[in-house]
Amino acid sequence: MMGEVGGGEGFDILESHGVPTFRFPEDAVTALAQLTRYGAWRSAPQGTYLRFKDARRGEAQAILRRATATLAGGAPAGDGIPRQEAAVWLAPLDSYALLDAYGIRTAPTRFARSAEEAAEAAQALGLPVALKLSSTTITHKSDVQGVQLGLNSAAAVNAGFARIEKALAALGRRNEMDGVLVQPMARNGLEMVLGMTHDPQFGPVLMTGLGGTYLELFRDVQFALQPVTDREIAQMVDRLRSRPILDGYRGEPARDVDALHETLARLSQLVEENPQVREMDLNPMMLFPKGEGGLVVDARIRAAPSDAYQEYVIASLEE
């Protein structure tokens, strides 16, 4: 309804009979467009919530309870901090074990407290290797030069360990170094990122996109509310601006998109069945050429002690 004369009365008559009213045609077109999108969403197939029977939920629960045991008492009474907000970052090997319990492939990893132990681990795993800082207080390893890549001899491993020590000492943080993680180098993989966080309003939110150095450069990521169906997982991946890269671009091999879909489904199940998990950052996951799968080479997971509601959810799942 356009025009000022009689507009108010006309609006009242239409609205009293449940007729949507707009003062300008642009608003009406916008509303029709949103109705069209909503109708398409409602009429589309819902998809399937995938559940993998090989998931070892009991093992995952044991890892989380052990990791959060020191926080089990919650925040002191009267300090105003909700108990569920007291959370802890899992030790790296615990993070890998938690992922493994849900069938998510991770790189073979060994912990070493000294350069000598790191060199021995490198020989056992096979050269070349990567060294990564292991610390319960430093979560962003690359910010403190805590990642050494492509070390192809025992001498190179010793030198890499020394470089990490020296960089931390220069920052006055050498005492925060527990040791290093030793992993064989993953070749020919496209770096992807997978993760989840808790939105204050909507709860767990799943995420995927280009990872590694591409993450901050392009910020090409997509999100979906938990739990996600196989259809929603495919849509997350297909909406990425970098989607053509996964199909092979300018001579690059096509990537194992099916493995990415399955990993996201397994991650969704992990989050759904373990409400103590508050945040996850799997960056990078190396996505190999089609048919070769994917491999998580770095993982950060934050967990909180379970509250009464979470214990109810866990008990229901176990039943």
Environment class of 50 (CB within 10 Å of its CB; exposed 0-12, middle 13-18, buried 19+): middle
Tokens (6 digits) for 206: 């799943």
254 within domain boundaries: yes
The 10s digit of each residue's pLDDT in 120-159 is 999 999 999 999 999 888 878 888 999 999 999 999 999 9
| pLDDT value, residue 195 | 96
174 and 86 in a common domain: no
* CA separation, residue 212 to residues 26, 108, 289, 296 (Å): 42, 19, 17, 12
Closest CA to 192 of 92, 93, 299, 103: 299
Q: Total structural domains in the chain?
A: 2
Residue 91 phi, psi (nearest 5): -60, 145
Task: Looking at the chain, list the stretches that DSSP marks H as alpha helix, in order from N- to C-terminal side.
Answer: 7-16, 25-43, 57-67, 92-101, 115-125, 154-170, 213-218, 230-238, 243-246, 257-273, 308-318
171 within domain boundaries: yes
Residue 291 phi, psi (nearest 5): 90, -5
DSSP symbols for 232-280 = HHHHHHHT-TTHHHHT--TTPPPB-HHHHHHHHHHHHHHHHH-TTEEEE
Of 46-55, 75-84, 266-275, 279-288, which gets the smallest average pLDDT?
Answer: 75-84
Domain boundary among 135, 153, 184: 184
Residue 114 phi, psi (nearest 5): -135, 170
CATH code of the domain covering residue 304: 3.30.470.20
The 10s digit of each residue's pLDDT in 241-285 is 999 999 998 888 999 999 999 999 999 999 999 999 999 999 999
142 within domain boundaries: yes
Neighbours of 84 (CB within 10 A): 18
Alpha-carbon gap, residue 260 to 253, rounded angstroms: 15
130 within domain boundaries: yes
Domain that holds residue 156: 108-184
75 and 119 in a common domain: no
Note if the pTM is more than 0.75.
yes
When pLDDT is averaged across residues 68-97 and rounded to a whole number, the result is 69
26 within domain boundaries: no
DSSP symbols for 145-186 = T-EEEEE-SHHHHHHHHHHHHHHHHHTT-GGG--EEEEEEPP
102 and 112 in a common domain: no
114 within domain boundaries: yes
| pLDDT value, residue 71 | 79
120 and 256 in a common domain: no
Long-range contacts (CB closer than 8 Å, 24 or more residues apart) made by 161-165 = 161/112, 161/114, 161/115, 161/118, 161/131, 162/115, 164/131, 164/133
Q: Is the pLDDT of residue 8 over 80?
A: no
| pLDDT value, residue 223 | 96
93 and 176 in a common domain: no
| pLDDT value, residue 234 | 96
247 within domain boundaries: yes
Closest CA to 106 of 298, 261, 269, 302: 298
119 and 244 in a common domain: no
When pLDDT is averaged across residues 87-113 and rounded to a whole number, the result is 95
Query: Is residue 80 very low, low, confident or very high in pLDDT (cuts 50, 70, 90)?
Result: very low
79 and 69 in a common domain: yes
When pLDDT is averaged across residues 12-16 and rounded to a whole number, the result is 88
| pLDDT value, residue 218 | 86
| pLDDT value, residue 4 | 63
DSSP code, position 204: E
When pLDDT is averaged across residues 8-32 and rounded to a whole number, the result is 89
141 and 263 in a common domain: no
121 and 100 in a common domain: no
Domain boundary among 157, 184, 211: 184
Tokens (6 digits) for 47: 């998809």
23 within domain boundaries: no
Q: Is the pLDDT of residue 28 over 70?
A: yes
Alpha-carbon gap, residue 110 to 93, rounded angstroms: 8
Between 154-170 and 115-125, two packed helices, what is the crossing angle to 10 degrees?
140
Neighbours of 255 (CB within 10 A): 22
Q: Is the pLDDT of residue 113 over 70?
A: yes
Residue 230 phi, psi (nearest 5): -60, -35
226 and 116 in a common domain: no
227 and 302 in a common domain: yes
Q: Is the pLDDT of residue 49 over 60?
A: yes
When pLDDT is averaged across residues 199-218 and rounded to a whole number, the result is 89
| pLDDT value, residue 5 | 61
Q: For the chain, give the mean pLDDT.
A: 90
113 and 256 in a common domain: no
| pLDDT value, residue 79 | 43
Of 85-99, 106-120, 280-294, which gets the smallest average pLDDT?
Answer: 85-99
Domain boundary among 128, 154, 184: 184
Q: Is the pLDDT of residue 85 over 70?
A: no
Alpha-carbon gap, residue 138 to 127, rounded angstroms: 26
CATH code of the domain covering residue 137: 3.30.1490.20
